[in-house]
Amino acid sequence: MHNAFRRSRRTLVTALAAGLVAVAAPAAFAVPAQAQQCADRSVPPPPVDTSEQPKPGQPAPPPMPVPAEPVGGPQLGGCGTVLPEDALNPPDGNTAASWVLQDLDTGDVLAAKDPHARERPASLIKTLLALVVVTEMRPDQVVVPTKQDAEQECTCVGIVAGQQYTVDQLMHGLLMHSGNDVAHAFATALGGVDVAVGKMNRLAARLGAMDTRAATPSGLDGPGMSTSAYDLSLIFHYAMKQPEFAQAVATKAYTIPAIAGKPAIPVFNDNKLLGVYPGFLGGKTGFTDDARHTYVGAAQRDGHRLAVVMMRAEQRPTKVVEQAGNLLDYGFALHDDHANPVGRIAYQASATALPEPGTDGNVAAASGAAPAAPAEADPFGTTGWLLTVVVAAIIGAGFAFGHQRKKRVSALAAAQPAEQRAGAERSRRGTQAESALHGDVRLQQHRRRRAHHTALVLPRGGRPGGHQEQEPGHQVGEHQQPDHRTEDRR
């Protein structure tokens, strides 16, 4: 017994030392063995067009470094579906190449599929642009679009060059209707496209979105564009803490007032779950030929908020918004069953986040206005690193004790009579079957609840009123025009 205690103590000390060394050393970026086995872990899939070719004389951006340890927890480094133990399988018909279900209130990741696969964001990158705008510009600050802003490749809101708009008005156009003209106007106001993209990338790095590199402010595909379902979950989690963002994505219809004889501009929300899915809080849609369909949305039920991000999805055989609704139902069922999380939405500073000296100017200050303070302080710094050291030490201790416990349990199991082990196995299987049945009942309850709500909301004919969005080839709307002149296509 004394020798066993000494071995346990040595193991604990070794684990603590390893954890401290790992955190104290500079962040190491490499391609871990697990990542080497995963498709799209370093770069998105090959493009289908020439939109990502660099300008003449410019080199292609190198792949972004892959963290040695998966951000959000070790389980999130997997390539396939990541589920809680004994959980039901996700709903059928989900076409997304990767997705993440998160708890917006706790930061837990409830379930995921290939969460760190590198994908293209399409218009979901506008959530990152919106965060930069919220940080640097006041809602009542005036923006005057240029001719180039107003003539961007659409989808467009229809802003007029030379007219005055407030940041709040343009924010609704950016997030509700995904206006490329608005995105370019914001980029111009922030100092130009290159400066705005630089600000977006520095903010992403400060948040710890290590898979993300914006190439354009609007989501149009460009050289080096990259993100992941996990990163967009982190960015959306942070964005929903900002009142200006949360209010805009939750607005179903909005009007930019008439200006100087120009007609008012009606703006309708492209997210078709708004007003249809019970408790829906808003989100963002996106599409390019290279990214395919991307989606983020959140909902609240019984006082609890969940969010889903979907990447590289298709509209067949089920529309993406319906797939998202099914995943939200699944997430609420997991929450009701108190399923253990598979990871965390973890804010952390990136080793690549060092800003370039003199390049991070403040637009509000440059325009003579007082800069708006961020709604929330960056969650890192000296204190954050100290806490990280402590957490790493605790985790190391937990692994050490867990290893010793596993050895003791294995020894006891080996000593059990065969009949007793067989009885325990029958009991375990019975518990799993009961848990699966209970989870299925929960999921069916959430689906019936949503179906009842939808029946009450939808007008005769089964379609929500207002602006209609359609898919490529047979729908008309922001991301899906038959002539493919979408807001995200070059």
Whole-number average pLDDT of the chain? 78
What pLDDT, on a 0 to 100 scale, did the predictor assign at position 330?
98
pLDDT top residue among 464 and 214: 214
For residues 162 and 179, what is the distance between their CA atoms, to the nearest angstrom?
17
| Number of neighbouring beta carbons within 10 Å of residue 35 | 18
Query: Looking at the predicted structure, is the pLDDT value of residue 446 above 90?
Result: no
Query: Looking at the predicted structure, is the pLDDT value of residue 46 above 60?
Result: yes
Torsion angle (degrees, nearest 10) of CA 442, 447, 448, 454: 150
pLDDT above 70 covers what percent of the chain? 63
Average pLDDT for 355-383? 36
- CATH for 74-380? 3.40.710.10
Average pLDDT for 447-460? 51
Cβ distance 307 to 298 under 8 Å? yes
Q: How far is CA 449 from CA 147, 276, 446, 464, in A?
A: 49, 12, 5, 18
Tokens 């003791």 sit on residue: 408
- Residue 178 among the catalytic residues: yes
Per the residue annotation, which of 51, 98, 178, 233 is the catalytic one?
A: 178
Residue type, 66: V
- Peptide bond just before 357 cis, omega within 30 deg: no
pLDDT top residue among 96 and 451: 96
CA end-to-end span of the chain, whole Å? 70
For residues 94 and 447, what is the distance between their CA atoms, to the nearest angstrom?
16
Lowest mean pLDDT among 237-251, 336-350, 401-415: 401-415
Query: Looking at the predicted structure, is the pLDDT value of residue 379 above 50?
Result: no
What pLDDT, on a 0 to 100 scale, did the predictor assign at position 262?
87
Question: What tokens does 206 get?
Answer: 């400060």
- What b/e sequence results for 419-437 when a residue is b if at least 16 CB atoms lie within 10 Å of its CB, and e otherwise? eeeeeeeeeeeeeeeebee
For residues 176 and 265, what is the distance between their CA atoms, to the nearest angstrom?
13
Predicted confidence band of residue 304 (pLDDT cuts 50, 70, 90): very high
Q: List the chain domain ranges.
A: 74-380
Per the residue annotation, which of 42, 98, 123, 226 is the catalytic one?
A: 123
Residue type, 344: R
pTM over 0.85: no
What pLDDT, on a 0 to 100 scale, did the predictor assign at position 137?
98
- Residue 199 among the catalytic residues: no
- Residue 51 among the catalytic residues: no
For residues 233 and 480, what is the distance between their CA atoms, to the nearest angstrom?
24
Predicted confidence band of residue 93 (pLDDT cuts 50, 70, 90): very high
- What b/e sequence results for 334-345 when a residue is b if at least 16 CB atoms lie within 10 Å of its CB, and e otherwise? bbbbebebbbbb
pLDDT top residue among 380 and 75: 75
Per the residue annotation, which of 113, 126, 199, 272 is the catalytic one?
A: 126
Average pLDDT for 214-234? 98
Query: Looking at the predicted structure, is the pLDDT value of residue 390 above 70?
Result: no
Average pLDDT for 141-153? 97
Average pLDDT for 100-107? 98
Q: At what angle do helices 2-24 and 382-415 cross, to 10 degrees?
A: 150
Predicted confidence band of residue 260 (pLDDT cuts 50, 70, 90): confident
What pLDDT, on a 0 to 100 scale, did the predictor assign at position 338?
96
What pLDDT, on a 0 to 100 scale, did the predictor assign at position 367?
29
Predicted confidence band of residue 443 (pLDDT cuts 50, 70, 90): low
Task: Give per-residue pLDDT as tens, 54-74.
Answer: 999 999 999 999 999 999 999
What pLDDT, on a 0 to 100 scale, did the predictor assign at position 412?
45
What pLDDT, on a 0 to 100 scale, did the predictor assign at position 348?
75
Query: Looking at the predicted structure, is the pLDDT value of residue 91 above 70?
Result: yes
For residues 208 and 67, what is the distance between their CA atoms, to the nearest angstrom?
11
* Three-state SS annotation for 326-356: HHHHHHHHHHHCCCCCCEECCCCCCCCCCCC
* Three-state SS annotation for the chain: CHHHHHHHHHHHHHHHHHHHHHHHCCCCECCCHHHHCCCCCCCCCCCCCCCCCCCCCCCCCCCCCCECCCCCCHHHHCCCEECCCCCCCCCCCCCCCEEEEEECCCCEEEEEECCCCCECCHHHHHHHHHHHHHHHCCCCCEECCCHHHHCCCCCCCCCCCCCCEEHHHHHHHHHHCCCHHHHHHHHHHCCCHHHHHHHHHHHHHHHCCCCCECCCCCCCCCCCCEECHHHHHHHHHHHCCCHHHHHHHCCCEEEECCECCECCEEEECCCCCCCCCCCEEEEEEEEECCCEEEEEEEEEECCEEEEEEEEEECCCCCCHHHHHHHHHHHHHHHHHCCCCCCEECCCCCCCCCCCCCCCCCCHHHHCCCCCCCCCCCCCCCHHHHHHHHHHHHHHHHHHHHHHHHHHHHHHHHHHCCHHHHHHHHHHHHHHHHHHHHHHHHHHHHHHHHHHHHHHHHCCCCCCCCCCCCCCCCCCCCCCCCCCCCCCCCC
Closest CA to 248 of 272, 200, 283: 283
Average pLDDT for 452-479? 39
What pLDDT, on a 0 to 100 scale, did the predictor assign at position 57?
92
Query: Looking at the predicted structure, is the pLDDT value of residue 156 above 50?
Result: yes
Closest CA to 70 of 346, 303, 353: 346
Closest CA to 244 of 329, 351, 139: 139
What pLDDT, on a 0 to 100 scale, did the predictor assign at position 335?
96
Average pLDDT for 421-431? 51
For residues 314 and 307, what is the distance between their CA atoms, to the nearest angstrom?
19
Average pLDDT for 204-223? 97
For residues 9 and 30, what is the distance between their CA atoms, to the nearest angstrom?
32
The response to whether 284 counts as a known ligand-binding position is yes
What pLDDT, on a 0 to 100 scale, did the predictor assign at position 300?
98
Contacts of 83 (CB under 8 A, 6+ apart): 89, 90, 111, 342
Task: Give per-residue pLDDT as tens, 402-419.
Answer: 555 545 545 444 444 544
Average pLDDT for 347-357? 52
What pLDDT, on a 0 to 100 scale, did the predictor assign at position 393?
54
What pLDDT, on a 0 to 100 scale, did the predictor assign at position 352?
47
